[in-house]
Amino acid sequence: MPLVMPDLKPITPEIVMTCLALFILVADVFIKRKETLALLSIIGMAAAAFTFALPGALNTTFGGMFISDGYSMFFKIVFALNVILTILISVKYLAVERVNFGEYYALLLFSTLGMMIMASAGDLIVLYLGLELMALSTYILAGFIRYDMKSNEAALKYFLLGSFASAFLLYGISLAYGLTGTTNLDRIAMTISEKGLAGKPALTLSMIMIAVAFSFKIAAVPFHMWAPDAYEGAPTSVTAFMSVGPKAAGFAVIGRVFLMAFPMVRAEWVAVFIPIAIMTMAVGNIVALSQTNIKRMLAYSSIAHAGYALLGIIAGTADGLASMMNYMLIYAFMNMGAFAVIIMLRSEGFKGDAISDYEGLSKTHPLAAALMLVFMFSLTGIPPTAGFMGKFYIFMAAINAGYTWLVIIAVIFSAISAYFYLRIVMNMYMKDPKETVTLTTSPSMGLALAITTVAVLAIGVLPAKVIYLARVAFP
Amino acid sequence: MVPLNWYLMLSAAVFSIGVFGFLTRRNIIIMFMSVELMLNAVNISLVAFSHYLQDLRGQVLVFFIVTVAAAEAAIGLAIIIALFRNKATAHVDDMNEMKG
């Protein structure tokens, strides 16, 4: 059998990322100043992002196992932004937490590599490998503060439930493989329609198991139990990273698998996702009301946002998917910004993650309070911020697909969410400071905050460009 | 010749034991073993399908699963050891630093 070299152009970003992550891992031994590693990681990631645009980058390779198209490119841009912003906000934070190790950057890059592979997966095997690469790196990152009991506990809970979920994914994959005789997403869809497998109980079971596994990854209710604990206990920069990256990757594969491999059983999976979306929005928004820790509150908020984004998948139209992708990009900016402010409040000997720590912040640190205000408004969905545009397009797409009642429910829960987001704003602006809060600032933190603030406001005022990008990305 | 259904029933049974063990046992190591049991249940069904379909893809996937499971075990045990150093317990009910 002649061995044909596969076309490597579509997979260049992943190859660059692999080399970069391995290089950082080795360089860690020789470089004493870990800030240098952060800088190298950002430069390398930016270089990998440039290879997205190389000629011949949009193609399918490795016999259909790896798909590089507009859809995956859009998600890869989100992942690249996510990792760059995470590195920017964590440089000083790691020193404050006394865990300034170089592996941190290598693990972030490996996790991002896993997400990129997931977004490009054209085959269930590749999908599984990408998912595990992402998940295993994130488990370690969640437990990165070794001496802290909370961080250990976060890692353990995330690890146990994550591996439980991937066993479900594998069982679903094995059933799909047994029924169709292939793991290629396109060919699964073809076999289902050729053999008339739609409606067979085994296929429905396989589809439900895969849906359950992905619901774990995006922290959708009732598979969200790990999220609040993992988000609260993990280092704040990692919380920021995993509230955006793995979630966006989860949505990327949901869109890919359910619309590419299971379009014939659409009625069944929509019937699975509608109750999940409603419960996710309900639990996320209602439980967030009673939280006293801001990281935990943002964990529930991130659960709720997964519920909104699911509406785009349920709509299932090109507009629905584009609005979901757009939402992920906007969510990356606004959530990163909010976590950046939380990280600034953390200083030597002061946790700064209780909601009461924000009392009177506008009097002591007006700029930080103003930035937090922008991000909280955006997470609530108040114009002229990006969060409003994200929700607007998602709801429009769902209405156009005929799910008006679902959108009404979503809007009601979105109104409830204003209470807990604006409570932070109220604490900052209408209460008097109790204790003096010192901000831990650094140039990289300033840069991250500038990028996120400008993006949130710019997308809020001029959304057409991003929407256009997402719309052309999905054929 | 053992019919395919027998393998699938075995696989489903092992998988269910794994799920049941994960949900009822409270020792971290045993919960982790239950997850491994679930993964191996999947391996049984994949190999059986692969043999009956005369297609190698399933067995390739089994190799990947075994490899990933090994990596997962390394990370899982590392997390458990890190935890054990701070709090000498392997019981999930003692993991109650965070609630809400």
Under an 8 A CB cutoff, do B79 and A174 touch?
Answer: no
Q: How far apart are CA A299 and CA A154, in angstroms?
A: 13
Q: Are A68 and A59 in contact (CB under 8 A)?
A: yes
Q: Are A457 and A58 in contact (CB under 8 A)?
A: no
Q: Is residue A10's pLDDT more than 80?
A: yes
Under an 8 A CB cutoff, do B61 and A163 touch?
Answer: no
Residue B95 within a domain? no
Q: Is residue A432's pLDDT more than 70?
A: yes
- Mean residue pLDDT across chain A: 92
Nearest CA in chain B to A155: B79
Residues of chain B with C-beta less than 8 angstroms from the C-beta of A140: 75, 78-79
Query: How many domains does chain A divide into?
Result: 1
Q: Residue A63: what pLDDT?
A: 86
Residue B98 within a domain? no
Q: Is residue A43's pLDDT more than 90?
A: yes
Residue A3 within a domain? no
What are residue A220's phi and psi, to 5 degrees? Answer: -95, 145
Q: Are A196 and A134 in contact (CB under 8 A)?
A: no
**pLDDT per residue over A351-377, tens digit each?**
888 888 888 889 989 999 999 999 999
Residue B13 within a domain? yes
Residue A226 within a domain? yes
Residue A467 within a domain? yes
**pLDDT per residue over A57-115, tens digit each?**
888 888 889 999 889 999 999 999 999 999 999 998 998 888 889 999 999 999 999 99
Q: Residue A437: what pLDDT?
A: 82
**Alpha-carbon gap: A91 to the closest alpha carbon of chain B (Å):** 24
Domain hosting B84: range is 4-90
Residues from B contacting A (CB-CB < 8 Å) are: 8, 11, 15, 18, 22, 28, 31-32, 35, 38-39, 41-42, 45-46, 49, 53, 55, 57-58, 60-61, 64-65, 68, 71-72, 75-76, 78-80, 82-83, 85-87, 92, 95, 97-98, 100
Residues of chain B with C-beta less than 8 angstroms from the C-beta of A163: 32, 35, 72, 76
Give first-to-last CA distance, chain A, whole Å: 36
Q: How far does CA A325 lie from the centroid of its chain?
A: 11
Nearest CA in chain B to A232: B98
Under an 8 A CB cutoff, do B75 and A175 touch?
Answer: no
Q: Residue B99: what pLDDT?
A: 67
A107 by Cβ neighbours in 10 Å (0-12 / 13-18 / 19+) ranks as buried
Q: State the pLDDT confidence band at A176, using cuts at 50, 70 and 90.
A: very high
**Residue among A206, A269, A234 nearest A99 (CA):** A234
Give me the amino acid identity at B28: I
Query: How many domains does chain B divide into?
Result: 1
What's the mean pLDDT in A405-414?
A: 95
**pLDDT per residue over A301-337, tens digit each?**
999 999 999 999 999 888 899 999 999 999 999 999 9
Q: Are A308 and A58 in contact (CB under 8 A)?
A: no
Name residues of chain B where pLDDT drops below 70.
99-100
Nearest CA in chain A to B78: A140
Q: Is residue A436's pLDDT more than 90?
A: no
Tell me if chain B has a CB within 8 Å of the CB of A180: no
Residue B19 within a domain? yes
In percent, the amount of chain A with pLDDT more than 90 equals: 74
Under an 8 A CB cutoff, do B83 and A229 touch?
Answer: no
Under an 8 A CB cutoff, do A136 and B64 touch?
Answer: no
CATH code of B20's domain: 1.10.287.3510
Residue A1 within a domain? no
Name which of A161, A170, A232 to mutate to probe chain B: the one with the most chain B Cβ atoms within 10 A of its Cβ. Answer: A170
Residue B99 within a domain? no
Under an 8 A CB cutoff, do A174 and B55 touch?
Answer: no
Q: How far apart are CA A259 and CA A265, in angstroms?
A: 10
Under an 8 A CB cutoff, do A171 and B15 touch?
Answer: yes
**Alpha-carbon gap: A153 to the closest alpha carbon of chain B (Å):** 6
Domain hosting A66: range is 9-473
